Structure formats: C-alpha cells, structure tokens
Amino acid sequence: MSSSTVGSTQWMAEVRCWCGKLAPVKMSWSTTNPGKRYRACPHYGGNGSCRYFEWIDSDVSERVSRIIRVLLKRLDKKESEIQRLEIIIEKENGVIMKMKLESMFHFFYGFAFGIAVALICMRLGMKTGEPSPKLFQLH
C-alpha cells in the first residue's frame, strides 16, 4: 500500500514527464510520507524507466502524519484478519465438499446395494418356477 491516484485534482494542470507520458497526481501511503501528494511517470521505478518524480506537497504536519500511520496500521490489521478468515473459509469449503462427496458415495452405494438385493430377490423368485402371486400381481 504505497500510493494511490488522487481523484480531487481537477484544478491542477496536466503534467507530462520527460518521456512524454501523463504524470498523474498520487498520494503516498508510506510510513515516511503518509498523505503527501506527488507526480511520477507511470513507468517510474522499473528497469530502464523514466525517472520523473516530483513532490507536490510540502511535508504534512506531524499530527496528520501520526493519524495516517495509525489508520494504516488499523487497515493492515483488518486486511490480515480478512486474509486469515478467507483461509478458514477455504478450509471449511474443502470440508463441506468432502462431506458432499462422501454423502453422494453413500447414496449411490446404498442405491446399488438396493438394486442388487432386488435383483437377487427377483432371481430367487424366478428359480422356484412359480411366481409369487403377491410379488408379481398386476391389477
């Protein structure tokens, strides 16, 4: 969480970096410069990239900086908690899927066993030569 584009900069003139790209206004969320706005080339920081970077604001007050740092720590804690809960949910979803598969297996096993028993009963009924009137009676 190092920076973000600042949306309320309509009054500021567009600035292009040394390579001709539009250099948007961003806000630093680092612990050393929280809340401080700057402009940078979209390719700033990569290998062989443009090196255009300029601070727009002077340093923010210590109070603002402290508040932002506290809020960033809270946000980090919440994001960590969300990640922890997502892992728990993923594990629980795995357990649920396993239970569903086991349930389907038991159903099909029971169904197949029932068909096998029915076939054996029918086979035994046919071996006697006389169908049981109650078993094969049609109305």
Six-digit token string for 88: 């728990």
Q: What angle do CA 80, 83, 89 make, to 5 degrees?
A: 145
Going by pLDDT thresholds of 50, 70 and 90, the confidence category of residue 138 is: low
pTM higher than 0.85 for the full model? no
φ/ψ of 128, rounded to 5, equals: -70, -15
**Residue 40 dihedral angles phi and psi, to the nearest 5°:** -150, 150
Q: What is the pLDDT of residues 32-83, one digit of tens each?
A: 888 888 998 888 877 767 788 899 887 778 888 888 889 888 999 999 999 9
Residue-level pLDDT at 80: 96
State the pLDDT confidence band at 1, using cuts at 50, 70 and 90. very low
